[in-house]
C-alpha cells in the first residue's frame, strides 16, 4: 500500500473516472485528496452538473475506440468506472477500451437494494415491463430519470408523477405532472409528496446506494413498488466500496 502517514499517495497515478453519480464525485474527492491526478468524465446529459474535484471532461468519447485513444493520449494509469448501474453502454465501452489499450479497468458497484419484510415489491426486468405492470387508474410516482420516461406515454389510463433533474424534451402529456428536483430527499418529504399527489405505486430503478428514502416512504405508506432490476454489465474487477477502489488505485498490483 503506497500511502504515507499523511494519507498522500507516494506514487501518484493518473486516473480517469467514468462518472455521473454521487459515488463518482466522492471517489474523485478522495483520490484528489490522496494526491492522484484525477480526470472525471461526464456524459454531458445534464446542463448544470455538480462538478467533481480534479479535472473534468464533458461529452462522449466516440465509442470504445475513442475511449481507448483517450486513455493512451492522456497516459492514464487506471480507468475507474463509477457510472450508474443502469448505464450499460459506457461500462461496456470501458471494459473494451481497457482491453484495447492495456489500461487496467476497475468498476465500483454499489450493492443493490434488497426488499425488507414489509416491502411490497414487484420486480421487473426493464422499463417496458414496468409500464405494462401499472394498474388502470393508478397514480404512478416514476423516479427513473428522463431517458426512458417517454415509454410511459402509452398509458393514458394512468396518472404519472415523474421526478427528474432536468425536464424531458417535447410536449408533456396532460396526465403527467413533472417534478424537477435533485436529491437528497428525506423520508418525511417523500411521504408528504406521495400523500399530496395521491400516489398509488412507486416506480424505481434498483440503483442501490443511499438515495433510498422513496423506498422507505413507500413501505411506511404500504404502497407497492415496481422495482426495475439492474441490467447485466460486462465481467470486470468489481469493488463494492470507495475505500477499496482508493486502496487498489494506490497499490502496485493494478
User: Site residues (CB under 6 A) for ligand NAP?
Assistant: 18-21, 41-43, 45, 60-63, 66-67, 83-84, 86-90, 93, 145, 147, 205
In the complex, the smallest distance separating the C-beta of residue 20 from ligand NAP, rounded to whole angstroms, is 3
**Which one, 37 or 205, has the nearer CB to ligand NAP?**
205
Preceding peptide of 184 cis, ω within 30°: yes
Distance CA 202, CA 184 (A): 17
With vertex at residue 85, the alpha carbon angle to CA 83 and CA 91, rounded to the nearest 5 degrees, is: 55
Residues in the chain: 254
In the complex, least distance from residue 41 CB atom to ligand NAP, rounded to whole angstroms: 4
Helix (H) or strand (E) holding 46: none
From residue 33, give the alpha-carbon distance in Å to each of 16, 21, 110, 156, 157: 15, 19, 22, 51, 52
Grid cell 413501505 in the structure block, residue: 219
Which residue's CB is nearer to ligand NAP, number 69 or number 197?
A: 69
* Residue 77 vs 143, nearer CB to ligand NAP: 143
**Least gap, CB of 22 to ligand NAP (angstroms):** 9
As a whole number of angstroms, the distance between CA 188 and CA 89 comes to 35
Beta-sheet strand order (sheet of 37-42):
55-58, 37-42, 14-18, 78-81, 105-108, 237-239
- Name the residue whose CB lies closest to ligand NAP: 60
Whichever of 66 and 125 has its CB closer to ligand NAP, that residue is 66
DSSP string, 71-122: HHHTT-SEEEE---TT-HHHHHHHHHHHHHH---EEEE-PPPP---TT-EEE
CB of 116 to ligand NAP, least distance (A): 23
CB of 90 to ligand NAP, least distance (A): 4
> Which of residues 147 and 237 has its CB atom nearest to ligand NAP in the complex?
147
**Cell numbers 421487473: residue:** 124
Residue whose CB is less far from ligand NAP, 7 or 150: 150
- Kindly state the smallest distance separating residue 6's Cβ from ligand NAP, in Å: 31
Amino acid at each position: 500500500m503506497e500511502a504515507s502517514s499523511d494519507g498522500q499517495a507516494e506514487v501518484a497515478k493518473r486516473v480517469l473516472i467514468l462518472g455521473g453519480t454521487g459515488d463518482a464525485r466522492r471517489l474523485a474527492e478522495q483520490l484528489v485528496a490522496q494526491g492522484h491526478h484525477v480526470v472525471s468524465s461526464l456524459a454531458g446529459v445534464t446542463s448544470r452538473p455538480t462538478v467533481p474535484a480534479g479535472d473534468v471532461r464533458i461529452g462522449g468519447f466516440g465509442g470504445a475506440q475513442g475511449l481507448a485513444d483517450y486513455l493512451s493520449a492522456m497516459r492514464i494509469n487506471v480507468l475507474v468506472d463509477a457510472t450508474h448501474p443502469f448505464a450499460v453502454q459506457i461500462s461496456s465501452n470501458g471494459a473494451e477500451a481497457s482491453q484495447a489499450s492495456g489500461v487496467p479497468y476497475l468498476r465500483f458497484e454499489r450493492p443493490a437494494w434488497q426488499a425488507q419484510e414489509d416491502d411490497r415489491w414487484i420486480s421487473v426486468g426493464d422499463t417496458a415491463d414496468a409500464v405494462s405492470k401499472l394498474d388502470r387508474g393508478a397514480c404512478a410516482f416514476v423516479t427513473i430519470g428522463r431517458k426512458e420516461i417517454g415509454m410511459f406515454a402509452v398509458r393514458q389510463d394512468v396518472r404519472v408523477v415523474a421526478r427528474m433533474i432536468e425536464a424531458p424534451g417535447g410536449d408533456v402529456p396532460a396526465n403527467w405532472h413533472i417534478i424537477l428536483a435533485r436529491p437528497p430527499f428525506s423520508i418525511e418529504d417523500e411521504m408528504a409528496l406521495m400523500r399530496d399527489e395521491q400516489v398509488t405505486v412507486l416506480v424505481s430503478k434498483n440503483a442501490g446506494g443511499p438515495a433510498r428514502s422513496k423506498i422507505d416512504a413507500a413501505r411506511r405508506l404500504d404502497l407497492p413498488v415496481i422495482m426495475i432490476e439492474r441490467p447485466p454489465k460486462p465481467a470486470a474487477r468489481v469493488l463494492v466500496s470507495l475505500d477499496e477502489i482508493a486502496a487498489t488505485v494506490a497499490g502496485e498490483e493494478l
